[in-house]
Amino acid sequence: MHLYRTHNCGELTKTDVDKTVRLSGWVHHRRDHGGVLFIDLRDQYGITQIVFHPENKEMLDIASHISYESVITITGKVVARSEETVNSKLATGEIEIFVDELTIESSAKTTPFQVAESDVVNEDLRLRYRFIDLRREKMCKNIIFRAEVITTIREFMEGKGFHEFQTPILANSSPEGARDYLVPSRIHPGKFYALPQAPQQYKQLLMISGFDRYYQIAPCFRDEDARADRSPGEFYQLDIEMAFVTQEEVFEIVDELMKLVVEKHGKQKLLFNDFPRITFHDAMNKYGTDKPDMRFDLFLADLTDDLSGSECQIFSQGKKTGIAIKAINYPGGTTAPRSFFDGLQTWAKQNGLKGLAYIVFEDGNAKGPIVKFLNENDLAVIKEKTGAKDGDVVFFAVAKWKAACHGLGALRLVLAERMELRDPNIMAFCWVVDFPMYEKEDHSGNIVFSHNPFSMPQGGMKALEEQNPLDIVAYQYDICCNGVELSSGAIRNHQPEIMYKAFEIGGYNKKEVDEHFGHMIRAFEYGAPPHGGIAPGVDRLIMLLANEPSIREVIAFPKNSKAQDLLVGAPSSVLPEQLAELNIRIVD
């Protein structure tokens, strides 16, 4: 007989009755029924009820004092439970084990929270004792679920002719994108590696090296703040790159993969079998975001041309260049309490708007602070464009186009929550395409890259030379689901002269391009195939499939919202001699 177990705690059934077995696991729960002691023994696979009878008083006494979460090994006989004591909630619920031998492998201190209970526990406490938190049934299932999804992804990619290659973790710092995590070099004083924000340049170099289809479950590092759908510091993505590929072929691969993982692992249904494509500008104008939640029909309306000539001072701002008048209808909004409308003014300022005007349509009349400044034609246009009816409330944002879109896009989600429109049992994938190559910085007015600087502009060099930079769109695309951006991708710029020109428009001279991306230019000069790819976020995808509200629920050892690993105490101070070795001094 094995030293620790002949079976796991989730596999014994009535077919095993009368067998002598050995199990090991954690003490999950204990119940004393008049001298007969019942313990639920737990491991990764499930729970088995074990029974200590009063005939062996010494063993019964020891078992009675074993603390929860202690690890024990037992040997005993499998017995069928009586019909009235069968537990249909357990896979092992038809049997129990009469214990003959007991060994305490490890005694546990009183835990800071109960593994067996489902009570809400402070997140920082959970993360500090993550090794206990991961014993909880939900967390255990989530982490195993994650592994199973990744296995499916790997099998799919290999079946499509992709090969997994590993790219460097110690890489070069890049001026674009988020903040880098820098690693000082001991043997090159004053110089630094950077942890890769993504394997972007390396995977392009693999295509130039002659490999045709690459993928990697890649760790990526960005010094960003936490969000519910973003882990601070590090995350994993399914990194994909293909040579001699069109944008449509990238979509086909990803569409097929997403359908597979939802069908095989998700409890949700797909809203669209053919994932819709929507341009960046249409997504912003219709949904107020470039990562639209398409599970519900609640749309923004553009009233800039209709209301900019209004006598209403708020709407007359629409005459100014770059100012947009956006509106959204709240069906049945007249039933909302006054406090909701009052709170929206503070909310609007927190979401980039100076305020939030609104009109209430009730009892055949229009009501609200701005109604007296509007004529019948203004009101008729508002109702026509927003679809407002009696009992509805229409909200307005008047601001720069992007701010107006984002503000009402955020309000769209607030209204959807109030109206319970966001069905958790549906996954609505979509592609957002034709991102602008450049945008103008608000604070400086400079033209900068708006997305990925390595993307191929639609129209190539001709577009860069002849079009207004703000009108140039790129072969850039995002795949989104339920309002979450899963991934950005692009068909890459693979020609040196186009890359120099693209970076010149983005504010980089030739010397700077050569300094930061000389290796890419050098590679392009020796024959680069047209290529493109994408990198869906593994953590985010699994979060959606598992129907979890936070990405930390599907990561074994996540950082908290302050980018701290409370379990191991990172980040931490280091010894003075370690700093000296790296030629670093901390300045107060």
SS in 3 state form for 458-520? CCHHHHHHHCCHHHCEECEEEEEECCEEEEEEEEECCCHHHHHHHHHHCCCCHHHHHHHHHHH
Residues of the chain with pLDDT under 70: 175-177
**Closest to 504 in 3D by CA, of 491, 517, 523, 489:** 517
Domain identity same for 316 and 172: no
pLDDT of res. 120: 79
Q: Could you tell me the CA-to-CA distances from 263 to 145, 231, 266, 267, 549 in Å, in that order?
A: 14, 26, 6, 8, 21
Domain identity same for 541 and 517: no
Domain identity same for 36 and 62: yes
pLDDT of res. 158: 98
**Per-residue DSSP letters for 173-204?**
--SSSSPPEEEE-SSSTT-EEEE-S-SHHHHH
Question: 308 Cβ partners below 8 Å, 6+ apart?
Answer: 315, 316, 317, 318, 319, 325
Residue 281 lies inside a defined structural domain of this protein: no
**Closest to 386 in 3D by CA, of 307, 329, 318:** 329
Give the CATH number of the domain where residue 397 resides.
Answer: 3.30.1360.30
Cβ atoms within 10 Å of 31's Cβ, excluding its own: 10
Give the pair of three-digit tokens for residue 70: 């202690």
Contact status, residue 201 vs residue 520, Cβ threshold 8 Å: yes
Tens-digit pLDDT profile for residues 289-325: 999 999 999 999 999 999 988 888 899 888 898 899 9
Domain identity same for 178 and 98: no
**Closest to 251 in 3D by CA, of 277, 215, 218:** 277
> What is the torsional sign of CA 77, 80, 86, 87?
positive
Question: 169 Cβ partners below 8 Å, 6+ apart?
Answer: 195, 196, 219
**Closest to 24 in 3D by CA, of 85, 99, 81:** 99
Give the CATH number of the domain where residue 192 resides.
Answer: 3.30.930.10
Residue 333 lies inside a defined structural domain of this protein: yes
Residue 139 lies inside a defined structural domain of this protein: yes
Domain identity same for 129 and 265: yes
Burial 463-472 (b: 16+ CB within 10 A, else e): bbeeeebeeb
Residue 487 lies inside a defined structural domain of this protein: no
Q: Could you tell me the CA-to-CA distances from 34 to 5, 56, 183 in Å, in that order?
A: 29, 15, 63
Residue 335 lies inside a defined structural domain of this protein: yes
**Closest to 98 in 3D by CA, of 73, 71, 72, 78:** 78
Residue 285 lies inside a defined structural domain of this protein: no
Tens-digit pLDDT profile for residues 241-282: 999 999 999 999 999 999 999 999 999 999 999 999 999 999
Domain identity same for 340 and 394: yes
Q: Could you tell me the CA-to-CA distances from 528 to 208, 516, 523 in Å, in that order?
A: 5, 19, 7
Which residues lie across from 396 on neighbouring strands? 327, 357
Contact status, residue 491 vs residue 533, Cβ threshold 8 Å: no
Give the CATH number of the domain where residue 91 resides.
Answer: 2.40.50.140
Domain identity same for 397 and 346: yes
Domain identity same for 517 and 543: no
Domain count, the chain: 4
Residue 283 lies inside a defined structural domain of this protein: no
Write down which residue in 106, 131, 151 finishes a domain.
106
Domain identity same for 63 and 176: no
Q: Could you tell me the CA-to-CA distances from 109 to 66, 475, 488, 507, 533 in Å, in that order?
A: 10, 58, 47, 60, 50
Domain identity same for 82 and 162: no
Q: Residue 541 in 3-state DSSP?
A: helix
Contact status, residue 143 vs residue 166, Cβ threshold 8 Å: no
Distance CA 133, CA 114 (A): 9
Residue 408 lies inside a defined structural domain of this protein: yes
Write down which residue in 106, 135, 159 finishes a domain.
106
DSSP 565: B
Domain identity same for 517 and 541: no
Which residues lie across from 427 on neighbouring strands? 270
State which residues form the domain around 365: 296-422
Contact status, residue 94 vs residue 80, Cβ threshold 8 Å: yes
Neighbouring C-alpha atoms within 13 Å toward the C-beta of 365: 5
Give the pair of three-digit tokens for residue 11: 């596999």
Domain identity same for 249 and 163: yes
State if pTM tops 0.95: no
Write down which residue in 71, 106, 141 finishes a domain.
106
